[in-house]
């Protein structure tokens, strides 16, 4: 997705890892944001928690029969409210400056698979990937792949840490290796 990745990372930076994978002809697409030094600072933690709450709202909207954009609307509402509470925006429409993309896309034979984007259907696999991008600060995005069911969704990439404490613990373990 990116043209240049040449900047040296420094302690205090965040690194956004956007990864696609293919297995037996089917694809996956996940994103994690990690603190380069292993620990989120206070500002990073606030933005990360806001994105995680937005993703949780998006998960709850992944119900068979819901409009395809229901996860996006749910995530956007959380981000709008959170950015206002943090004093980053004054009007909820300004949230689009910091969250400029949709929340979901279909997965299947392609990472951005085509499909019916009218309503969610049981058996459909989509991403839920809210993000906040602040110029000069960096980006926080969390993306998981979910299976839509009649009663909600199943997070197919749930084995990867999303909780900031889990991420910091994992980073501490791998830095000792």
Instruction: Find the Cα–Cα–Cα–Cα dihedral 31, 172, 45, 164, rounded to 10°.
Output: 60
- Please answer whether residues 35 and 52 qualify as being in contact, where contact means their C-beta atoms are separated by less than 8 angstroms: no
Distance in angstroms (rounded) separating the CA atoms of residues 135 and 100: 13
The pLDDT assigned to 2 comes to 55
Over residues 95-128, the pLDDT tens digits come to 999 999 999 988 865 556 566 678 999 999 999 9
The pLDDT assigned to 53 comes to 98
């Amino acid at each position: 997705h990116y043209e240049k990745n040449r900047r040296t990372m420094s302690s205090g930076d965040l690194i956004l890892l956007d990864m696609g994978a293919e297995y037996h002809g089917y694809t996956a697409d996940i994103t994690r944001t990690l603190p380069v030094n292993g620990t989120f600072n206070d500002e990073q933690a606030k933005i990360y928690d806001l994105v995680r709450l937005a993703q949780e709202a998006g998960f709850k909207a992944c119900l068979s029969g819901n409009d395809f954009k229901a996860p996006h609307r749910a995530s956007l509402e959380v981000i709008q409210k959170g950015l206002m509470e943090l004093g980053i925006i004054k009007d909820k429409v300004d949230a689009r400056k910091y969250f400029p993309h949709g929340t979901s896309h279909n997965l299947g034979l392609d990472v951005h698979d085509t499909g019916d984007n009218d309503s969610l259907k049981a058996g459909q696999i989509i991403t839920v990937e809210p993000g906040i991008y602040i110029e000069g600060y960096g980006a926080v995005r969390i993306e998981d792949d979910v299976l839509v069911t009649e009663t909600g969704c199943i997070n197919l990439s749930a084995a990867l840490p999303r909780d900031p404490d889990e991420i910091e613990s994992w980073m501490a373990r791998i830095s000792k290796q």
